[in-house]
Amino acid sequence: MADCWRFVYPLEERSLKPVNIGLCGLGTVGGGTLTVLKRNLLDINAHAGKSVVLTHIGARRDNPAFDLSGIKVSRDVFAVADDPEVDILVELIGGTSVAKELVLRAVRSGKHVVTANKALIAEFGNELFAEAAKHNVVIAYEAAVAGGIPIIRAMREGLAANKIEWLAGIINGTGNFILTEMRDKGRAFEDVLKEAQELGYAEADPTFDVEGIDAAHKLVILASIAFGMPLQFDKVFTEGISTISTEDVAYAGELGYQVKHLGITRKRPNQGIELRVHPTLIPNSRLIANVDGVMNAVLVKGDAVGPTLYYGPGAGAEPTASAVVSDIVDVSRLVGAESGSSVPHLGFALDKLVDYPILPIEEVETAYYIRISALDRPGVLSKITQILSDAGISIEALIQKEPKEGQDHVPVILLTNRAIEKQIIAAIKKIEALDSINGKVVRIRVESLK
Amino acid sequence: MADCWRFVYPLEERSLKPVNIGLCGLGTVGGGTLTVLKRNLLDINAHAGKSVVLTHIGARRDNPAFDLSGIKVSRDVFAVADDPEVDILVELIGGTSVAKELVLRAVRSGKHVVTANKALIAEFGNELFAEAAKHNVVIAYEAAVAGGIPIIRAMREGLAANKIEWLAGIINGTGNFILTEMRDKGRAFEDVLKEAQELGYAEADPTFDVEGIDAAHKLVILASIAFGMPLQFDKVFTEGISTISTEDVAYAGELGYQVKHLGITRKRPNQGIELRVHPTLIPNSRLIANVDGVMNAVLVKGDAVGPTLYYGPGAGAEPTASAVVSDIVDVSRLVGAESGSSVPHLGFALDKLVDYPILPIEEVETAYYIRISALDRPGVLSKITQILSDAGISIEALIQKEPKEGQDHVPVILLTNRAIEKQIIAAIKKIEALDSINGKVVRIRVESLK
């Protein structure tokens, strides 16, 4: 049978030049990468069209789970960046300060880089990608967003024909696990969080996950690829799920909705980009509403293709390693090629990126779920609906419950139509000022994802 | 800002050398491709890093919907293949005889090819890919499977780290629309088929769609990429949905299952490959069970990543054009590159493909839904269960209904555990031979997709 890639690498050159991998970091993802590389090496080489060889590991300490015989091991990760034999440096140490220096050092010595580090890319990607371009190398980062789901490739290449209109993703498994448990078992947030920590899904400090910072890192990367703009992590609006009550999850269910913690970005023509992470009600009938537990999914709306969805495990040793090693395969094809044909880091040629304005959250357009604790007295509902009507906000659905035994307040739940956020907030302030209203109005954004 | 792809194409060369596209076929997909290319040209060029120019169209007749001024038009599609100015030939004429000659002619004259033709790739891909390798060009075919879903890229590159264990896809929208309507509205197959034809979802001759031939074409391509084996269209087992009754769809629902027309391929270590298209019961709790109407989805199980799913529109002018144009962008990057780094056609280097045996359907391992029309008389159920038990087949679930007014037969519905198909068939023959059984036993395969 003919040799499909002979035109890329002459046979003799191929057998002479294996691709040398230097791996930095032997934690969860580093260990998973070692495991997958070893187990599937023959297939990986068959995919790459050359021999991929792990030659150098940089790790502060040994990991007794792995036999590293035959592999050079350095305690100083920078020794891997400086190793002239290494073709591709795989950065799996995490964090941003050392990792950034490490990647820059590798790039400047002409090495390609593969990383799973979402914080690094979201916060320093512009600088890193520019430096990589200057040195004719690539930084591959499929593992940085949604773990094992090949969403970077899908958006950067698979949807390249499209103008992306918006995307919405469940891109933090911990948050989705908590919300799923709250819905299925009627358990409180704090209670489920504790279990997630015990199960190892959530860190001891859960802020990154439940307050949406982790999701914001991923969203910023997806948005830049979607619209062709520089990474702007400082501009993303972030709201966590720690304030979501079991009560609201249940009312959402009655209305035919799920509460999901979504990263959402949308292009508003001639206005700017919405870039936001927050709890969101979405209709049960959307496929993404059925994504439960620790799983991730990203729904992307392109102007030509319509909606497409990508689903899979967003974290974990081997799922993340799946993305890391797939990147190693891709980048291996570039090693030794005199001129490559690599995809630009953000899908668009760097000089074609546009610095679109990011809209402040007050200017975002969305629908709202509103829960009001109202006195059970005639005329209250009329006052509420009058305020909304005066603000030009119409009501799509309404539930009024009977008062509980011995209580004089009743919950009133409303779904509004789409409006600019500042208008909703102004209306809610007026509602809260009514005598017949008890405490703060609860509000959760609603997206139809159509 | 630095120029990300300067190392690929020098600036002066870029501006001098646009990529010339020759498009053959102006039907639904051809029209969609023209529309998308025109509407999103600036973004497409920003993705490709060069100017993509449609220079030559081959079509037997004009399509009055499109203004083709400034583009050379030939009545003979082979004139496009012979045009020395054309870099990439886009084959959208369909069928296999002329299309095959056209693609071969283009390849032999050093042109890259983009095609949406699943029959062509499934039936003649081995020959075409070998010829393309010989001439240092690529044949891109993302649009051939599941329309706008970038499943070829996802599997060939995004999951390259994995050994694929199995995949299951809803890869024919017409069939899925029919089954969804049968479930939601209790309508009969024939009735919904007629509506699908009126809506334009199904062809006048619906055989390709409802008997699974279209799905078989796509499955064969996916299986070859999954396992790294030559395309073997003649080996796929195909069973359509025309025999599925509304009654069975409803009983499946009672048991917590959906009936979907799936293309399934699975590697049975040391035995061979299962390659089959048939109606299948799948649990409601799987995300793919919620894929309704004309939408497509492919669920892939990799050993490292676990399950991932890809969802979107599997047909239609612009969704298919989305895949065609994304391929044009990818292939454009190769044009003029002295040495490329292209991905092998089936993901694996051609000389690494393995000709695994395809298991005959009798050797497939699957669970079964069985519906028996049994005399409402003591001892019948015991005889049925004895036959299954003797064959080593255990029963996972059972429903026995009351007889309808005036009938002496009752439906008995069973779900079995997994077994080799020929064992199930032998057991069913014995059940059908019982005096107390009326007519043929209905059987539908069941997959848990875990």
Q: Which residue, among A193, A204, A200, has the nearest Cα to A243 in the 3D structure?
A: A193
Report d(CA B81, CA B24) in Å as an integer.
9
The CA-to-CA distance between both ends of chain B, in Å, stands at 48
| Topology (CATH level 3) of domain A152-312 | Dihydrodipicolinate Reductase; domain 2 (3.30.360)
Taking a C-beta distance cutoff of 8 angstroms, is the pair A57, A22 a contact? Answer: yes
Give the pLDDT band of residue A233 (cuts 50, 70, 90).
very high
Report ipTM for this prediction. 0.95
- SS3 assignment, position B318: helix
CATH top class, domain B151-313: alpha beta
User: What is the percentage of chain B residues whose pLDDT exceeds 90?
Assistant: 88
Q: Is A389 on the interface with B (CB under 8 A)?
A: no
Q: What is the phi/psi pair of residue A296, to 5°?
A: -110, 155
Out of A2, A306, A338, the one facing B319 most closely (by C-beta) is A306
- The model's pLDDT over A162-191, given as tens digits with 9 standing for 90+, comes to 999 999 999 999 999 999 999 999 999 999
The total number of residues shown for chain B amounts to: 450
- Which residues of A are less than 8 Å from B322 in CB distance? 159, 161-162, 302, 304-305
Q: Judge: A161–B323 Cβ closer than 8 Å, yes or no.
A: yes
The amino acid sitting at A333 is: R
What pLDDT, on a 0 to 100 scale, did the predictor assign at position B17?
A: 86
pLDDT at B179 over 50: yes
End-to-end CA distance of chain A: 48
> What percent of chain B is modeled with pLDDT above 70?
96
What's the confidence (pLDDT) of residue A341?
Answer: 66
Q: Find the mean pLDDT for residues A250-265.
A: 98
pLDDT tens per residue, range A189-231: 999 999 999 988 877 789 999 999 999 999 999 999 999 999 9
CATH, domain A366-446, list 3.30.70.260, 3.40.50.2000, 3.30.460.10, 3.40.50.410: 3.30.70.260
The band of B338, judged by pLDDT with boundaries at 50, 70 and 90, is low
β-bridge mates for residue A397, sequence order: A415
pLDDT in tens, B124-157: 999 999 999 999 999 999 999 999 999 999 999 9
- Could you tell me the residue ranges of all domains in chain B? 18-147+318-335, 151-313, 365-446
Q: Which residues of B touch A4 (CB under 8 A)?
A: 129-130, 132-133, 344-345, 349-351
CB spacing of B304 vs A310 below 8 angstroms: no
For residue range B372-426, what is the model confidence (pLDDT) as tens digits? 999 988 899 999 999 999 999 999 999 998 888 888 899 999 999 999 999 999 9
Q: How far is A396 from chain B (nearest CA, A)?
A: 25
Q: B365-446 domain in CATH 3.30.70.260?
A: yes
Does A269 contact B at CB distance below 8 Å? no
Q: Which of B194, B200, B198, B153 is nearest to B317 (CA)?
A: B200
With contact defined as beta carbons under 8 Å apart, do B220 and B233 qualify?
yes
Rounded to the nearest angstrom, the minimum Cα separation between A308 and chain B is 4
Residues B17-39 have a mean pLDDT of: 96
Q: Do A47 and B347 touch (CB under 8 A)?
A: yes
Quick check: A279 and A443 in contact, CB under 8 A?
A: no
**Among residues B224, B47, B243, which one has the least CA distance to residue B126?**
B224
Q: Which of residues 158-197 of B touch A (CB under 8 A)?
A: 158-163
Q: Do B308 and A305 touch (CB under 8 A)?
A: no
- Give residue B339's pLDDT band: very low, low, confident or very high (50, 70, 90): low
Q: Does A228 touch chain B (CB under 8 A)?
A: yes
Which residue type does A175 have? G
So what's the pLDDT on residue A396? 96
Nearest to B312 among A308, A334, A343 (CB): A308
- Domain B18-147+318-335 indexed as CATH 3.40.50.2300: no
Mutation target among A305, A324, A348, A450 for the B interface, most CBs of B within 10 A: A305
CA dist A23 → A102, A265, A328, B40 (Å): 12, 33, 11, 40
Token representation of residue A149: 């789901």
A301: nearest CA partner in chain B: B312
User: Does B150 contact A148 at a Cβ distance shorter than 8 Å?
Assistant: no
Closest chain A residue by Cα to residue B347:
A47
What confidence tier does A5 reach under pLDDT thresholds 50, 70, 90? very low
B interface mutation test: which of A17, A29, A41, A47 has the most B CBs within 10 A? A47
Confidence of residue B14 (pLDDT cuts 50, 70, 90): very low
Please report, as a single letter, which amino acid is at residue A145: V
Distance of CA B12 to the CA centre of its chain: 42
> In angstroms, rounded to a whole number, what is the distance separating the alpha carbons of residues B35 and B29?
10
- A306 to B291: CB separation less than 8 angstroms, yes or no: no
